[in-house]
Structure 1
């Protein structure tokens, strides 16, 4: 009897070990995967030097270029352009007014020349003047129907399978997973839970100005034309402090826009881990870094060894990039 109990226990332990070893099946066995597993293992082993109390296990992830693709341009920019085209019949003046004319003509050079100011004009025209509920419905409709121009799949299928595995692995080990992105908070919240398993209240992002109004007897949040907060670069630690109220122990990014978040998280006392996704896979996705107009990775890549940040080489460290196309 005792012998059978011991055998059953050993089988159970072996099965548990196999499950843990296979928590990241899309990751290539090697130093990067091992660094992640070692961090999580020690963080969840009470009495180990790397133990992290459950209440402090907070992980933050950038979105564009970290959880889903971002080339040839940010997906929210694609959404903005589609909104301009959809609204154009009601705005004949846009055919002669920049930057709207550039969008309608498909003139990417003129659109680039419009710069940040032009982008803000487009966002103001396409994201404001409606209630939060109306905007959410528009985003849900777009995300359900739009397709990536090169990958030819829905945008929510242009997410990275290895990162979804990492999110699931962290949550299974008692971590809270948060998105901290330069993208619009209200653009991400309608779909991130179904894509990543991250609830909308755990999203930090750039925000448009809003006001509380009672419309036809119904309390509403109304979206206005001004920008309230930009959650990028040095804004990311500010967003973390405002929304989370506690310094995370793990941060994941892919560009210099994530530098300050990685720095803020990993410079604190105690066990910390910073991960940078380096886009090196032109065959399965896109290859870019220091000279890219989108997701530029220069200073963070240079400083990673000194800072102790682990660089994920997409071509080398991921067996697969995207989930199966629907």
Structure 2
């Protein structure tokens, strides 16, 4: 009789109620808080209900949705791209930073600081149309491998976060990327990797020009940075582009602090999550002292602001989409 009653209950209950929306997350407090939040804002009879039109979720990319060590993956592309361009025209290597980048000498570039990084990005990301640049990115993603994991870069997305994005969309959230990474760079792979279309990607963008080439209008990438989508720039860009304050925000570094702070300061139910890189065995462990993905304010202030600090080593049973 007990079996018959259970069978009747299962037959009357939607399959989704029994399925796990986040299978690569362990049975942790972080997972429970996320699911409880989503349940609360999608329950039409609950006090915390949020209409689908206002279910906006924003996520950083580097270190939040995919790896960012030993340096931002886009910068590895920049070095590879510069080496390729220098083979065609060695005269473009006009400084020690550019020569180091073409030789794959990351340490020398990092010693040159912010100016050296910008110089390499300018040289490798300008001088072509947007379409030509994105074709180069697509080719690089198809043919290159990470120097430490040997995985294709677009397989170094985080499986638990891909599941979270899918879960939110299944519950009528609209998901956006809001990242310090390059806008044109991320638009190449984000739809396939995350299910996020190009028009829902906010990022750093360089100067561009409108030109006529052989009678055809084109948008060309020019030297110079027009907007840096980082720190306080993130909420500014969200307000400017989306026009609504999100109710869910995810990041991993102090570069995301303002975005989470602004998101969770709004009225009604809000959630902020920070991915804490604690897994030196399956990925990398870093936070306060790291030049890439530095996380200090988020650890010190985030818990008091109600943010969920996701412990990668303990909260995720799997890391990358491309490896178990």
TM-score (norm 2): 0.95
Change (3 A) 1:8 1:216: farther
Q: CA RMSD in A?
A: 1.9
Counterparts of 2:135 and 2:92, CA distance in 1: 24
Paired residue for 1:16? 16
| SS of equivalent to 2:101 | helix
> Is 1:302 aligned to residue 286 of structure 2?
no
Change (3 A) 1:228 1:131: same
Contact 2:79 2:104 in 1 (8 A): no
Paired residue for 1:160? 158
What does 1:44-193 align with in structure 2 at a 5 Å threshold?
44-93=42-91, 97-193=95-191
Contact 1:94 1:101 in 2 (8 A): no
After superposition, the C-alpha distances for 1:133-180 in whole angstroms (9 at most, x for unaligned) are 111111111111111111111001001000000000000000001000
| SS of equivalent to 1:275 | strand
Counterparts of 1:113 and 1:33, CA distance in 2: 40
Q: CA deviation at 1:108?
A: 3.0
Which segments of 5 or more consecutive residues in structure 1 lack a partner in the other structure?
A: none
Counterparts of 2:53 and 2:44, CA distance in 1: 14
Contact 2:251 2:275 in 1 (8 A): yes
Q: CA deviation at 1:95?
A: 5.7
Counterparts of 2:81 and 2:12, CA distance in 1: 54
After superposition, the C-alpha distances for 1:222-255 in whole angstroms (9 at most, x for unaligned) are 1111211000111111111121111100000000
Paired residue for 2:238? 240
Which segments of 5 or more consecutive residues in structure 2 lack a partner in the other structure?
A: none
| SS of equivalent to 1:55 | helix
Change (3 A) 1:24 1:281: same
Which deviates the most, 58-67 or 299-308?
299-308
Counterparts of 1:162 and 1:106, CA distance in 2: 31
Matched length: 321
Q: CA deviation at 1:101?
A: 1.8
Q: CA deviation at 1:126?
A: 1.1
Q: CA deviation at 1:314?
A: 0.4
TM-score (norm 1): 0.94
Contact 1:247 1:265 in 2 (8 A): yes
